[in-house]
Amino acid sequence: MSRLAPAPDALIGKRFDVAVSKMLGMSRAKAAELIETHQVRGLNREMAKSSTLLEGDIVEFDLVEERQEPEPLAEDMAVAYEDDDVIVVDKPVGVAAHASVGWTGPTVLGSLLQRGVHITSLGAAGRQGIVSRLDVGTSGLMLVCKSDLAYKEMRRQFAEHEVVKTYHALVQGNLKEDKATIEAPIGRAKVSDFRFTVTPTGKEAITHWDVLERFGEATLVKVNLETGRTHQIRVHFSSIGHPLVGDPMYGANPVMAKELGLERQWLHAMQLEFRHPRTRVWTTVKSRYPADLQHALDSLEAKHATPPVNSLG
């Protein structure tokens, strides 16, 4: 879990690596390593280790935890696609993309390494091979790079929004339109380090959605992301008054979640489409709903099913 800290008055004007070493009580060399691996960074501007810390700077710490105990294995994490360059896993809920401070559960990267899957060494320490992430509470398809060639090319494709990421989400209420686009910048919420919100000072975020099925009290939608901001789908639908079912952090009704047997937000990464980094062949990988999300849908369908008309005589 990441945390934020304002630049201390006593360190204004210092080199960034010097300031970080003082803030964390470690050597300058170790602080420089954390900056270079993006575990420590400026929130409001790009900062190298030689940058000068200025008044008003916010420093973001997202340190990879050094585990004392072996990481648990995500035994039920299926592989949806694999070759010598990439592996696409069907991530279960409750599995993080990679290790982070405060997280003691299984991770995608750790489980793949424990299974003996070769992963490229490119990428930040503890996050090698990862070019996009899913939240712990979101299930579905996630791509990890096995080769150096794949890491460089897939990182480019994700950065330039060439990868087509399709999600299915169940949102509260009855959406007025059958399809629409939400375009609203997203940044960290002032109320907490781990919550995000629509804010004029945030980063560009674009979400396209189409209605798949209506239940009156909830709507099943297909979602395509142009950008990949943290919590983007959850924040955007909450911002238009339709939070994801099962997502109380962003305003969902906990009573509805309980009635549907949900213990997390109804959100699943259904499909990934990308140009294969080596062959250049357009590749499509698909997933299915996990049991808890399917159960919630079945419950809604049963509740809103039209009863048969009895004919007499």
Q: Say if 248 falls within a structural domain.
A: yes
CA distance 249 to 208: 22
Regarding whether 75 and 47 lie in a shared domain, the answer is no
**Residue 313 domain-assigned (yes or no):** no
Return the amino acid letter for 97: A
Are 240 and 286 found together in one domain?
A: yes
Task: Give strand pairing partners of 164.
Answer: 273
- pLDDT per residue over 72-120, tens digit each? 888 899 999 999 999 999 999 999 999 876 788 999 999 999 999 999 9
As a whole number of angstroms, the distance between CA 4 and CA 303 comes to: 45
The reply to whether 208 and 154 lie within a common domain is no
With a cut of 80, say whether residue 312 has pLDDT above it.
Answer: no
pLDDT at 313: 44
Scan for tokens 């009855």, then name that residue: 174
Annotated catalytic residues are: 135
Q: How far apart are CA 38 and CA 265, in angstroms?
A: 29
- Alpha carbon distances (Å) from 188 to 85, 198, 202: 34, 8, 8
SS3 call for 294: helix
Spatial contact of 12 and 55, defined as CB atoms under 8 Å apart: yes
Residue 310 included in any domain? no
Residue 8, domain extent: 3-61
Residue after which a domain boundary falls, among 110, 138, 160: 160
DSSP state of 138: -
Confidence category of residue 25, pLDDT binned at 50, 70, 90:
confident
The pLDDT assigned to 284 comes to: 98
Q: Measure the N-to-C terminal CA separation of the chain; round to a whole number of Å.
A: 67
pTM, full prediction: 0.76
Q: Look up residue 106 and give its two tokens.
A: 């299984």
Which has more confidence, 190 or 127?
127
One domain, residues 41 and 172: no
What is the C-alpha separation between 217 and 253, in angstroms, rounded?
Answer: 11
Would strands 206-214 and 179-183 be described as parallel, antiparallel, or unpaired?
antiparallel
Q: How many domains does the chain have?
A: 3
% of the chain with per-residue pLDDT over 90: 69
Q: Which domain CATH number covers 116?
A: 3.30.2350.10
Q: Which of 160, 194, 223 is the last residue of a domain?
A: 160
pLDDT per residue over 204-250, tens digit each?
999 999 999 999 999 999 999 988 888 999 999 999 999 999 999 99
Is residue 132 domain-resident?
yes
Q: Which comes out higher in pLDDT, residue 69 or 162?
A: 162
